Amino acid sequence: MAFGVGLAIFCTLCFGLGDVIARRAMFHLSPAGILFITVPMTVVSLGAAVLLAEGPGAFSGHGLAFFGLAALMGFLAYVSGNVSYFHGMKRAGVTLAAPILGAGPLFGVLLAVTLGGERPGLLTIGGAFVIVAGVAVLVSDRERIAE
């Protein structure tokens, strides 16, 4: 379990570092240009990781509909989401955009309830309110927005 926690912390560090690097890159390249570079890198690196971890069998036995849905999910979650995020980060900076992106699980919970029929527990509802309050504090900070 400790190894899993360590990996999660390392992943979080990499995401944060990626935001800072992307923001600095936007001084020289458009957000769409950065995405044009990162999408192929992501596809290749994830494909290699799956091949190393699971072997070639991970890609067999699935119909065309599966790969179409996976591509649609990738477009919605990664491409369109990152284009919006990169534009927001370019205009508002990492210190404001990254915490707002951190509210992503809130939307996951809302969609699970509305589309998936799930019923969250009291702790999940409490956590959702904490996320909403945190984002509200960030967005209502007039000094930060005026920068």
Task: State the pLDDT confidence band at 144, using cuts at 50, 70 and 90.
Answer: low
When the pLDDT of each residue in the chain is averaged and rounded to a whole number, the result is 85
CB contact set of 51 (below 8 Å; sequence gap of 6+): 58
Residue 86 burial by CB count (10 A; 0-12/13-18/19+): exposed, middle or buried? buried
| Residue 101 near residue 135 (C-beta atoms within 8 A) | no
- On the question of pLDDT at 145 being above 60, the answer is no
The structural domains of the chain, with segments of one domain joined by +, span 1-93, 102-147
Contacts of 88 (CB under 8 A, 6+ apart): 97, 100
> What pLDDT, on the 0 to 100 scale, is given for residue 122?
93
| Over residues 23-42, mean pLDDT | 86
CA angle 82, 86, 91 (to 5 degrees): 150
Cα 83 from Cα 35, distance rounded (Å): 7
The dihedral over CA atoms of 99, 86, 42, 2, expressed in degrees to the nearest 10, equals -10
* Band of pLDDT at residue 142, cut at 50, 70 and 90: low
Rounded Cα distance, 118 and 107, in Å: 13
Predicted structure pTM score: 0.67
